[in-house]
Amino acid sequence: MSHLMGIDVGTTGVKALIIDENGKVCASAVEEYPLSTPHPNWAEQNPEDWWDATIKAIRNVLEKSGGASVEGIGLSGQMHGAVFIDRDGKVLRPCIMWCDQRTAKQCVYITETVGEDRLFELTCNPALTGFTAPKIVWVKEEENEVFRKTYKILLPKDYIRFLLTGVFATEVSDASGTVLFDVKKRRWSKEMLSALEIPEDLMPEVFESPEVSGRISAEASSLTGLPEGTPVVGGGGDQAAGAVGNGIVREGIISSTIGTSGVVFASCDEVRVDPGRRLHTFCHAVPGKWHLMGVMLSAGGSLRWLRDAICHEEVREAKEKGIDPYEIMTEEASQAPPGCEGLIFLPYLSGERTPYPDPDARGVFFGLTLRHKKEHLIRSVMEGIAYGLRDSLELMKGIGAKMSEVRASGGGARSSLWRQIQADVNNLEMQVISVDEGPAFGVALLAGVGVGIFNNVEEACSRTIKVKETIKPIKENVTIYERYYEIYHSLYPALKDTYKHIAELT
């Protein structure tokens, strides 16, 4: 029996898993690390923490698997981060992460330098604060000594690839999120790099996602226990990899993912763009395909904030019972009616990206009254996140994206209440699949393609992923949510100028 490994360098920790050729998970392990917020709206991590956690996770999962022989490895990770390393492979500064919002000025500079229309023509995307290019420009402007010492700029998973293989490489799906990549031609944009005065040799070589990019080095073998020479494929950014892990590899199948961020993802057989420039168009992890993506920055992160801010009793009770605090919270939320008696939550705790690319946006509880209790607050957060995801679905419908199936994934998919809320808010059937391992599972499948276990990505998904449950919308809830969604959708435009004023004050 052949075995494959997937490694996902996430926002809160590294996950490593081993699957067999039928998609059965043989073992998994997670190692966590901290997030630093040295200033308001900043978010950084120490890449060396990722590497320490990766070593531990690999050793742990190999031990749990009973010494399974791994034939190929896939890498996934949080997108858009910028890791600056010198000629000796040393990290020059903490990684500026995907949710960091410091680069509004640099986004304006990029747009004005390249030209708004030309930027979109070259990269299929606008310059947004979360993307990589504005971070590079910020370091160039604010920490020029770091920039002058930089030998390579790597995305998070690709820093781990370098330490595993000694190779500087990335792949098309993650590179798409840099705003330095020609998404249509699947290669670095020489024009973008030249316009921003970023030397092309600072960027790593680009591979297709299932393509072998390097092999485990002797040094990495001694640290991790992986056999020297084990192939490592390109892998994918966490969203494209997670889509592969959910079987979102053909047109018509949509995924709605609630993790720390929230993502609506649609596979496309050709380049498809949003004329309003609110959706992202990236290369898919499937060779020759692309994808549309809408991203909200604080999805599950909003519920985690609520847990940490006011749900101390639930956390304590969960610890006593040995269960997840979210189980208790969602049970409380189920006691509140759909629509929460007029309470609506705007989940813009870290600014927002889709459909409002606004780093100044803030979270709001709208409609609070003396009748509202904690269960209303919890449910309104869950509903607000579902409304935000619907924003992206509506945009995709507007440009002709096919929607025959919607699959729930991420931590939010584990909650039956949240799955039902999504089905009702969207008035679409939601599917739950047989695996729930996220990006690590997807890149393990990509590794299987790279080493010849599967002929292509579509075959890998069809052999290993099955639909196990379908959640149908409840008609009366659909009617309620349709009314409240209209109000939700009207609130950001009404508050936009006020958000900017608060940002100026803080």
Q: How far apart are CA 79 and CA 11, in angstroms?
A: 9
Give yes or no: 238 in active site: yes
What the block records as the tokens of 93 is: 């500064």
- In this structure, the dihedral spanned by the alpha carbons of residues 425, 427, 428 and 432, taken in order and rounded to 10 degrees, is 40
Task: Give the strand pairing for 231-233 and 212-215.
Answer: antiparallel
Contact present, 59 and 225 (Cβ < 8 Å): yes
Report helix, strand or coil for 73.
strand
Closest CA to 385 of 325, 296, 473: 296
**Which uninterrupted H or E stretch holds 253?**
strand 252-258
366: number of Cβ within 10 Å? 16
Those residues whose C-beta lies under 8 Å from the C-beta of residue 505, and which sit 6 or more positions away, are: none
Q: CA–CA separation, 411 vs 156, rounded Å?
A: 22
Measured distance CA(185)–CA(283) in Å, rounded: 9
331-335 contact pairs (CB < 8 A, 24+)? 332/374, 332/375, 332/378, 333/375, 333/378, 333/379, 333/382, 333/417, 334/375, 334/379, 334/417, 335/375
Cis peptide before 355 (omega within 30 of 0): yes
Token pair belonging to 504: 């100026």
> Is residue 298 a contact partner of residue 349, using CB atoms and an 8 Å limit?
yes
The total number of residues shown for the chain amounts to 506
In the block, which residue shows the tokens 């299987």?
448
Catalytic residue among 238, 274, 360, 424: 238
Q: Which helix (H) or strand (E) is 331 found in, with range?
A: helix 325-333
Q: What's the DSSP call for residue 343? A: -
Take residue 149 and report the two structure tokens written for it.
Answer: 């010492």
Q: What would you report as the CA-atom Rg of the chain, rounded to the nearest whole angstrom?
A: 22
DSSP 3-state of 12: coil
First-to-last C-alpha distance (Å) of the chain: 58
Q: Give the whole-angstrom CA distance, residue 171 versus residue 8.
A: 15
Contact indicator for 72, 450 with CB cutoff of 8 Å: yes
Residue type, 286: V
DSSP 41: T
Give catalytic residues, as residue numbers: 238
